[in-house]
Amino acid sequence: MVRTLLVALAILGTIVSSPASAKRDTAHYTSITVFGDSLVDAGNFYIYKTTTTPDPVPDYFLPDPSLGYANGRFTNGYDYPDLISMHLFGVPTTPSLAGGNNFAYGGARIVDTGDNIPDLQAQINAFQTSGRPVDPNGLYILNFGANDVFGAEGALPVNGLGPYPDVSTYLQAAADQYVAGIQALNDLGVRNIFITDFPLAGDPLTTEANNDLSLALTKLNLDAGTDLMVYSLSNFNVRVLTDPASFGLPPQRLDTSCIAAGAQATGCTGIFSFDGIHPTAAIQAAGYNDINKQFGLTSGVPEPVSWVLMCAGFGAIGGALRSRHRPPLERTPTSRS
């Protein structure tokens, strides 16, 4: 994403994350396939930018390894799908451009507004044309939404609303297309689907988008054997910032980033964001642990919990994050050919 979940503190309306027992025939998932934005990009954007001639996105923000970005990721370590994969298979996810099952790209949206970055449907299409079979015992992750909200806000350099006449119409289209992507995977035979909400910092457009998503999800027509897991990254961010000790973390600074503080050598201890946009590897690891605790993705045994969604009291945190200096955007200024 452009401003990925890490600056996201909105609460997901009425969608309640709940544990679920995966509908699979194996003790553990047998593969992981990822669709999404920079929060879960394993290196596709880095490969795309550094190997395409001429450079298709010369003004893009690049996860430069000299600054401490790790292995093409948009942080200083592995992201949560990588950690799931490492626990199950001993290796992180591999970008699709390197032959793997991680189709995520930094800068991706749900809605295709005509730039060069593969958005949700393009990523699903790339999976279908890759020749990879659908694994009914595999885990399929979708992590989108923040770039769509930023486009609706006019915070991206081009194609903010694409062909849509107004913000509300665009956000409704984003929610509907997100759910259409879930339906498409179900219809392909995918049986274990994990999605995240619109995770941008708690603003009215994020709330509107998540309300649209909540309603759109009720229109799904999933097969009886399909398990849909909905996780609120925004809720996670609230909890990790207000009660970091419960995740085994020290208090998290929001007034700087790890790069700005020059704290890469320390592992960015006590700093929430790696670059002012994306969370540090420690936050990614805390998210992985929280996801695994709730859904049992690596243990097969979810925790029997029920969430009470918090609807107020986090405006100050969201404001602090959103008032931070924003680095160059990840969207391309050119049109898709």
Checking if the pLDDT of 140 tops 90, the result is: yes
- What local confidence, expressed as pLDDT, does residue 110 receive? 96
Q: Please, what's the b/e burial string for 175-206 (b: 16 or more CB within 10 A of its CB; e: otherwise)?
A: bbbbbbbbbbbbeeebbbbbbbbbbbbbbebb
Share of the chain above pLDDT 70, in %: 78
Cα–Cα distance for residue pair 200/174, rounded to 1 Å = 14
Give the mean pLDDT of the chain: 82
Across the beta sheet with 227-231, the strand order is 32-36, 139-143, 192-196, 227-231
Checking if the pLDDT of 294 tops 60, the result is: yes
Cα–Cα distance for residue pair 35/131, rounded to 1 Å = 16
Arithmetic mean of pLDDT, 102-107: 95
Cα–Cα distance for residue pair 248/10, rounded to 1 Å = 23
The upper half-sphere exposure of residue 257, i.e. CA atoms within 13 Å in the direction of its Cβ, equals 23
Is this model's pTM higher than 0.75 or not?
yes
Which of 52-56, 113-117, 193-197, 200-204 has the lowest average pLDDT?
A: 200-204
Q: How confident is the model at residue 261 (pLDDT cuts 50, 70, 90)?
A: very high
Tokens (6 digits) for 131: 């020749």
Checking if the pLDDT of 277 tops 80, the result is: yes
Q: Which domains does the chain have, with CATH numbers?
A: 5-322 (3.40.50.1110)
Arithmetic mean of pLDDT, 151-164: 75
Q: How confident is the model at residue 202 (pLDDT cuts 50, 70, 90)?
A: low
- What local confidence, expressed as pLDDT, does residue 335 receive? 28
CA 277, 283, 289: angle at the middle one, nearest 5?
Answer: 140
Cα–Cα distance for residue pair 41/194, rounded to 1 Å = 16
Arithmetic mean of pLDDT, 279-292: 96
More confident position, 274 or 25: 274
- What local confidence, expressed as pLDDT, does residue 291 receive? 95
- What local confidence, expressed as pLDDT, does residue 1 receive? 36
The upper half-sphere exposure of residue 57, i.e. CA atoms within 13 Å in the direction of its Cβ, equals 24
61-65, 153-157, 313-317: which has the highest mean pLDDT? Answer: 61-65
Q: By C-alpha distance, which of 3, 96, 4, 5 is closest to 46?
A: 96
- What local confidence, expressed as pLDDT, does residue 302 receive? 59
Q: How confident is the model at residue 58 (pLDDT cuts 50, 70, 90)?
A: low
In sequence order, which residues have a C-beta less than 8 Å from that of residue 297 and are 6 or more positions away?
Answer: 22, 29, 84, 139, 194, 291
User: Positive or negative, the Cα torsion across 29, 32, 36, 40?
Assistant: positive
Cα–Cα distance for residue pair 231/291, rounded to 1 Å = 8
Tokens (6 digits) for 290: 């929280």
Which of 225-239, 294-308, 318-332 has the lowest average pLDDT?
A: 318-332
Cα–Cα distance for residue pair 300/137, rounded to 1 Å = 12
